[in-house]
């Protein structure tokens, strides 16, 4: 499996910060946001990763990440010349994937659940990771029955469930053929929800409901929330480690 890290979009909700740098390079507590999805790849054993981004800040990403060696991966880069949607960005990774399945991650998402068992065991079809939210109309929404997806809608006015499609997608190599058959949505973008819907319509979509926090860090409030959660978890980890040391010394 290959990793595709999608860091596109203009970051309009985070201006003026995103006038200076890509939102994926903004700090979340003590490190840049982009390192959190790279950690997801590392835990899942994915070391070949391509970063897809716009023209504005791709040089900054390359300058910071380099070859990826110090982060335990081998990085490639591809420019998306215009913001034509997540599915279009994914299409740019076809040559890189070279017939392998892909794990596509959005560069502004932070997952506190361990996704690696599901990613490592994925073989065929499509798989999405879902999270219960209070504002489902802002997301792609998946409806489940008996644990299986039965509908997928992009930003519905009247959601059929409160399960949002998070920014991690597992697709087999057919996703690139699917993208070629897609038409732009009403907002002029190639929607990744349409890829998910193809697998649903063909009975090949599965889903996991996350049992821990997930942050779509595309606003100032969510950036702050992400930093607060990271700091809180980091503090608990340090406390546990300190207690273990004290037990040994007793």
In Å, what is the CA distance from 249 to each residue of 87, 236, 239, 241?
A: 55, 20, 15, 13
Q: What pLDDT does residue 103 have?
A: 98
Lookup result for tokens 């990271």? 230
d(CA 37, CA 182): 27
Domain ranges in the chain are 2-249
Q: What pLDDT does residue 250 have?
A: 47
Q: What pLDDT does residue 12 have?
A: 78
Model confidence over 109-141: pLDDT tens digits?
999 999 999 999 999 999 999 999 988 888 889
Q: Is the pLDDT of residue 156 over 50?
A: yes
Q: Given its phi and psi angles, is residue 222 left (phi above 0), alpha (psi -120 to 50 degrees) or beta?
A: alpha
Model confidence over 35-82: pLDDT tens digits?
999 999 999 999 999 999 988 778 888 999 999 999 889 999 999 888
d(CA 12, CA 127): 29
Q: What pLDDT does residue 161 have?
A: 94
pLDDT more than 90, % of the chain: 64
User: What is the second-level CATH architecture of the domain 2-249?
Assistant: Alpha-Beta Complex (3.90)
In Å, what is the CA distance from 100 to each residue of 10, 74, 204, 219, 234?
A: 29, 16, 17, 33, 35
pLDDT band, very low/low/confident/very high, at 169 (cuts 50, 70, 90)? very high
d(CA 119, CA 103): 8
């Amino acid at each position: 499996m290959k990793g595709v890290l999608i860091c596109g979009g203009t970051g309009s909700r985070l201006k003026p910060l995103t006038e200076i740098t890509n939102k994926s390079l903004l700090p979340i507590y003590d490190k840049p946001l982009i390192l959190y999805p790279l950690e997801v790849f590392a835990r899942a054993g994915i070391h070949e990763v391509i970063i897809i981004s716009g023209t504005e800040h791709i040089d900054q990403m390359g300058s910071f990440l380099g070859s990826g060696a110090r982060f335990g991966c081998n990085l490639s880069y591809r420019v998306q010349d215009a913001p034509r949607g997540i599915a279009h960005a994914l299409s740019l990774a076809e040559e890189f994937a070279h017939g392998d399945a892909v794990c596509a991650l959005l560069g502004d998402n932070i997952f506190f659940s361990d996704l690696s068992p599901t990613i490592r065991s994925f073989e065929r079809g499509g798989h999405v990771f879902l999270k219960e939210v209070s504002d489902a109309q802002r997301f792609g929404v998946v409806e489940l029955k008996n644990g299986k997806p039965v509908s997928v809608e992009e930003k519905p006015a009247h959601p059929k469930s409160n399960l949002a499609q998070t920014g991690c997608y597992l697709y087999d190599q057919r996703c690139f053929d699917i993208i070629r058959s897609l038409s732009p949505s009403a907002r002029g973008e190639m929607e990744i929800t349409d890829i998910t819907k193809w697998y649903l319509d063909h009975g090949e979509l599965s889903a996991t409901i996350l049992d821990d926090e997930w942050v779509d860090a595309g606003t100032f409030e969510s950036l702050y929330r992400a930093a607060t959660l990271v700091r809180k978890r980091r503090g608990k980890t340090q406390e546990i480690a300190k207690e273990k040391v004290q037990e040994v010394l007793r």
